[in-house]
Amino acid sequence: MFFPQEIIRRKRDGHALSVAEVQFMVDGITTGQLSDSQVGAFAMAVYFNGMTAEEATALTCAMRDSGQVLSWQHLDLPGPVVDKHSTGGVGDLTSLILGPMVAACGAHVPMISGRGLGHTGGTLDKLESIPGYSITPSTQQFENIVKQVGIAIIGQTGELAPADKRLYSIRDVTATVESIPLITGSILSKKLASGLGALVMDVKVGSGAFMPDFAQSKALAESIVTVANAAGVRCSALLTDMNQPLAPSAGNAVEIAETLRYLKGDTSAQRLHHVTTALASEMLLSSGLAENQQQAEQKLADSISSGAALERFAKMVSALGGPSDFVERSEHYLAKAKVVKPVLARHSGMVSQLDCRALGMAVVGLGGGRSVPGAAIDHSVGINGLVEIGDLVDKGQALLTLHANDEASWQAAAKQIQQAITLVEAGADFIQPQSVYQRIAAC
């Protein structure tokens, strides 16, 4: 017989817990038999003492099994089940692009995504820019869309990993969010409950990342890869740059518009294209749909040039309640801000730095994100046409176009944005930042 206070004491004193002890704690979190104070104490003990790979795997699997675990075998899918997850960033719309691309290459992508957190944008908030799009279909609807369309992007249901939902809410108010084993368990419990055969992680590094420190980001990637593979899901991770927004757009409706531009063949946003291709190629390779990098990249390029990826996106939108002609008439459906005008450079120079977090917070300040949980989102606001690090600009040239719903909000955001973009004298020493730093795979 286990006693929660004794398990908390053992972890507090730096001991490794058994699988049975971890299971007991997760069961108590799920059923409510553990009080909030006990859950908080357990989280704090893990925060200070960490977990072994075996403990982290036990925690992840127990949280995965605390609710519904999807299985796709009964649907006799003709292709592999694979997903991608990002730790979040600004202008990160890769899920919206690569999901349809990978589905067009023969995969099935049951993508359970989240809302914006802090300065980072949320995939669900972006999709809700589309009138009628439902992020909460029934399990049967979700399964049918994944089978028929190949891709469905929805929100977490109450049946998936309920232990994580309670544990995270307590971590959020007990200063224990930044714990690698707890982050690992939180991310993977939901993803593994989706019944995946393979998972690719996009772990962000830089000023706009959840973990801006490279060493911490790498440690998180290694933890996720180790635990996922131990839990029976093929997993690899890419460390990617978030020292500037990934796409030239940040917001909700503006990122949907950016998604459509890309899927219609405009892949000129090089950083977005590079990271999307790298992640999507990893998905094809890990799920056996490509034999090598060159073949993977060719299949992905073909999915764009043939229109197959765009068609998958259109079918997903329609199947989840959006307009059947959304792709053709997106400008008619997407909300438009009342004040849309460029922010101009005050002097000439080269863009040497973009404060990614500050740019994200400027969008939040416009109403494009939440300052308190549950707040309403203004889908029309945001930025697009953003310059990149290394660009040369003249005085009076547009740094970006800013979308706001009144002049006062536009002026306040423009001031933040001017401070977030650093220009130096042209010709100064400059090294173009990488977009993909490193690949992490199982040993």
Beta bridge partners of 151: 109
User: Contacts from 318-326 at CB under 8 Å and sequence distance 24+?
Assistant: 319/145, 319/148, 319/149, 319/152, 320/133, 320/134, 320/135, 320/137, 320/145, 320/152, 320/154, 321/132, 321/133, 321/134, 322/130, 322/131, 322/132, 322/133, 323/130, 323/131, 323/132, 326/130
Q: Element (H or E) spanning 149, and its range? A: helix 139-149
* Mean pLDDT score, 343-364: 93
Topology of domain 336-424, per CATH?
Aldehyde Oxidoreductase; domain 3 (3.90.1170)
Topology of domain 73-329, per CATH?
Pyrimidine Nucleoside Phosphorylase; Chain A, domain 2 (3.40.1030)
Q: Is the pLDDT of residue 428 over 80?
A: no
Show the beta-strand stretches assigned E in 286-379: 339-344, 349-354
Q: Is the pLDDT of residue 116 over 60?
A: no
Percentage above 90 pLDDT, the chain? 83
Q: Is the pLDDT of residue 431 over 80?
A: no
Mind telling me the catalytic residues? 83-86, 123, 171, 186, 190-191
For residue 66, what are the contacts with CB-CB under 8 A and spacing of at least 6?
A: 26, 27, 29, 30, 161, 162, 163, 164, 189
- 188-208 pLDDT, tens digit per residue, is 999 999 999 999 999 999 888
Q: Domain 4-50 is of which CATH architecture? A: Up-down Bundle (1.20)
Q: What is the dihedral of CA 291, 293, 297, 299, to 10 degrees?
A: 0
Domain positions in the chain:
4-50, 73-329, 336-424
CB 400 within 8 A of CB 388: no
- 54-92 pLDDT, tens digit per residue, is 999 999 999 999 999 999 999 999 999 999 999 888 889
Are the folds of 4-50 and 336-424 the same? no
**3-state SS of the chain: helix, strand, coil percent to 5?**
45, 15, 40
Burial (CB count <10 Å: 0-12, 13-18, 19+), residue 227: buried
Amino acid at 368: G
Nearest to 127 by CA among 108, 109, 113: 113
CB 368 within 8 A of CB 377: yes
pLDDT of residue 373: 61
How far is residue 229 CA from its own chain's centroid? 20
Alpha-carbon span 139 to 111, nearest angstrom: 13
pLDDT of residue 11: 97
Within 13 A of 320's CA, how many CA atoms are on the CB side?
29
Q: Is the pLDDT of residue 119 over 70?
A: no
Nearest to 240 by CA among 94, 62, 53, 29: 94
Phi, psi of 78 (to 5 degrees): -80, -5
Q: Element (H or E) spanning 30, and its range? A: helix 19-31
Alpha-carbon span 23 to 20, nearest angstrom: 5
Q: Is the pLDDT of residue 429 over 80?
A: no
- 358-368 pLDDT, tens digit per residue, is 999 999 899 98
Alpha-carbon span 221 to 142, nearest angstrom: 29
Average pLDDT, rounded, for the chain: 93
Alpha-carbon span 399 to 415, nearest angstrom: 12
Q: Taking the CB of residue 270, how many other CB atoms lie within 10 A of it?
A: 10
CB 400 within 8 A of CB 385: yes
- Residue owning tokens 């005008």: 341
